[in-house]
Structure 1
Amino acid sequence: MTIHVLGFPTTLGLPRHAVRHAPEALRATGLLDFLGQLDSRVIDHGDMAVPPGLRSDPVPVRIAKVVEAARRQQQHWQRVARPGDLLFTIGGDHSTSLGTIMALAALGYDFDVVWVDAHGDFNTVETSPSGNPHGMVLALATGLLPDAMDGVIRPDRLRLWGIRDLDPGERRLLSEARVEVVSPAEVRARRAELLAGLRPNVFVSFDIDSVDPAEAPGTMTPVPGGFTRDEAVSLVADIVRGRNLLALDVVEFHPDRDEGDATGRLAHAVIRAALEAWRGQSPIRSGSPCASRSDADSRPSACASPTRRLYSP
């Protein structure tokens, strides 16, 4: 089994100028060294080339660019993924996760999306106050914007946990679609029940703003009243434990807004919790993780650190 790592430094869903992106920041603080300690092969595919988001673009153009980038991400995952592999994407705004959903659906998996977030991301063009596509990702995935793309997942496969900031029209759409929407307080009160209701295959999409901004300042969309750091880490581990984790996305980490690396450490802790839980229940794999780094034009050698494979479209 292989852990595939892909940086997706997108601002298409939330147009802004970012001095430094999350994939670069997390790699620089030892993420790949940690992954190399797991008893799995690790391939770092580098960062996918994504154009910058532009506020000057009309909303339909912003959405079209998000969908095009997601299709490229989907195609990349379809080329490299094998049964039993784990797809791990570092975002980027939350439009990062559209391509992951599309890829898993195209690969034929029946799975739940556990969307750990402060927001529902279920807006349409008509209901969105901002017009930013990172707040439309699940509406796109379920087919509510048919001019942009067909739906690839049913609403009953969505589990939105940690939600505490919904736009009025978005709230109505979620209610009409009967999507599971749960606040942090409800997660605390109903945790065992919610976990028991998950399907065997899961995709965990973790948005940094699911955690209270007092402990996770490095995000563009902070909302008070979120999970504590420890709650978030424990929750992610419990989601993965006893299930088949198909993919993990960590999104909406903005290093330039962090304070004292608090948010970077949170991201590391969430990733560690998810992958250690995944490793703990995976079948014992023979051999050691590959430990060399490779360029696009060289062969990886037998080793002790993750394979480096540059992204190619």
Structure 2
Amino acid sequence: MQIRVIGVPMDLGADRRGVDIGVSAIRYAGLHEKLRALGHSVKDIGNLHVPLPENQPAGDPHVKYLEPIIQVAEELAAAVSEALQAGDLPLVLGGDHSIALGSITGVASFYNDIGVIWIDAHGDFNTPETTPSGNIHGMVLAALAGLGHERLVHLAGRVPKVNPQNIAIVGVRDLDPGERELLRANRIHVFTMTDIDRRGISAIMEEAITVAGHNGRRIHLSLDLDALDPSEAPGVGTPVRGGLSYREAHLSMELLAACGQICSIDVVEVNPILDRENATASLAVGLVLSALGKTIL
């Protein structure tokens, strides 16, 4: 497999600084060498330019840094589409989760019908009307499903980018009240940590793959490291106790690799400032390897 690595050092979508250097931390953890050891070819196109928050007005407090985030999303969508056209698998390194607006828009411009598996402690399904923070990283999945600010929803002209019925969110344990109602109203498939505790991660992931990948549909994997318990992934901007264990996360990735439908991946919210000895970035690399075919035996 030819992997095309695209760095997006974005930290405009969140309040807490530091995820912009997560891109470098993931590379430093040996991403390229370990992918090649699995037999993949790797082409790294470097980082997209992302404006610094210090040089930008935040703008509307309900959709902070809207304009620069849209500019980066447009550039990223083009880069992802170009990778797919060349037959490569785009691996997008973040940065905060607002980068998924660009990565998934790029995938949706290439494939007519896609599914999304969103592994995250949060739903990221707010709109400007429901958000308690105004941070776009908490609105991006709603925008991709056709809800929210017009500029986010209509990026690249296709609405929605993903049919809401093709979305599976896994690992959720922290939702805002308005967000919870939107998820219910739009019948998004949400698999909470309670579901995982009761049914086991294997059954949950098999159902998530069925939801997102019905009839062989191609699947975009969006992996937020805060889906894991903070004891496993301390270097994230919005940690929430009670998350996925190390083995639950790896089994999730192994099952995704086995389904053979993953067409693109983004990995987000690694914050080295809050990390310990680059442990979270190293974990991110390990999970990517599992999603791309590494197994124990």
TM-score by length of 1: 0.83
Larger of the two Rg values belongs to structure:
1
The aligned amino acid for 2:110 is L
Asked if residue 155 in structure 1 is aligned to residue 183 in structure 2, the reply is: no
For residues 103 and 248 of structure 1, do their structure 2 counterparts lie closer, same or farther at Cα, with a shift above 3 Å needed?
A: same
Give secondary structure in 1 for the equivalent of 2:273: helix
Q: Post-superposition shift, 1:84? A: 4.3
Deviations 1:62-104 (A, max 9, x none): 2232222111101122233336421101100001111111001
Distance in 1 (CA, whole Å) between partners of 2:103 and 2:178 is: 26
* Corresponding letter in the other structure for 2:70: V
Instruction: Give the residue type in structure 1 aligned to 2:126.
Output: N
Deviation at 1:212, TM superposition (A): 0.7
Structure-1 separation of matches of 2:121 and 2:48: 26
Equivalent position of 2:59 in the other structure = 57
Percent identical residues: 36
Instruction: Write the deviation string for residues 207-247 of structure 1: whole angstroms up to 9, x where unpaired.
Output: 01000112111011001111011111111211231222111
| Offset from partner CA, 1:255-308 (integer Å, 9 cap, x none) | 110023321221121111111259x9xxxxxxxxxxxxxxxxxxxxxxxxxxxx
Task: Select 1:94's aligned residue among 90, 93, 97.
Answer: 97
**Deviation (angstroms), 1:61:** 5.3
Distance (Å, rounded) in 2 between the aligned partners of 1:144 and 1:95: 15
The answer to whether the aligner puts 1:258 opposite 2:275 as a matched pair is yes
Q: Are the counterparts in 2 of residues 15 and 52 from structure 1 also a CA contact under 8 Å? A: no
The match for 2:134 among 131, 140, 146 is: 131
Question: What is the correspondence of 1:160-199 to structure 2 with a 5 Å cutoff?
Answer: 160-188=169-197, 189=199, 190-191=203-204, 192-199=206-213
Q: Which residue of 1 aligns with 2:37?
A: 37
1:160-213 CA distances to partner (integer Å, 9 max, x unpaired)? 000111100000111110001111231351424444444131111110100011
Q: Which amino acid aligns with 1:11?
A: D
TM-score, length basis structure 2: 0.87
CA contact (8 A) 1:6 1:90 kept: yes
Question: How far apart are 1:20 and its partner, in Å?
Answer: 6.4
Structure 1: give runs of 5+ residues left out of the alignment: 281-313
Q: Secondary structure at the match of 1:205?
A: strand
How far apart, CA to CA, are the structure 2 residues paired with 1:75 and 1:49?
14
Asked if 2 retains the 8 angstrom alpha-carbon contact of 1:20 and 1:255, the reply is no
**Residues 3 and 40 in structure 1, CA contact (< 8 A), matched pair in contact too:** yes
Amino acid at match of 2:49: A
Q: CA deviation at 1:41?
A: 2.5
Letter in 2 for 1:58: D
Question: What is the match of residue 242 of structure 1?
Answer: 259
Amino acid at match of 1:107: F
**Cα-to-partner distance string for 1:110-145 (whole Å, 9 max, x where unaligned):** 221000000000101110001100000011112212
Measured on the aligned residues, the alpha-carbon RMSD in Å equals 2.2
CA distance in 1, matches of 2:113, 2:227: 25
**SS of 2:293 mapped into structure 1:** helix
Q: Is contact 1:128–1:135 with CA below 8 Å preserved after alignment?
A: yes
Report the secondary structure of 1:81's partner residue: helix
Name the CA distance, whole Å, in 2 between partners of 1:275 and 1:31.
12
CA distance in 1, matches of 2:249, 2:19: 27
Give, as a single letter, the amino acid of the residue that structure 1 aligns with 2:193: P
Q: CA deviation at 1:56?
A: 4.0
Q: Does 1:141 align with 2:148?
A: no
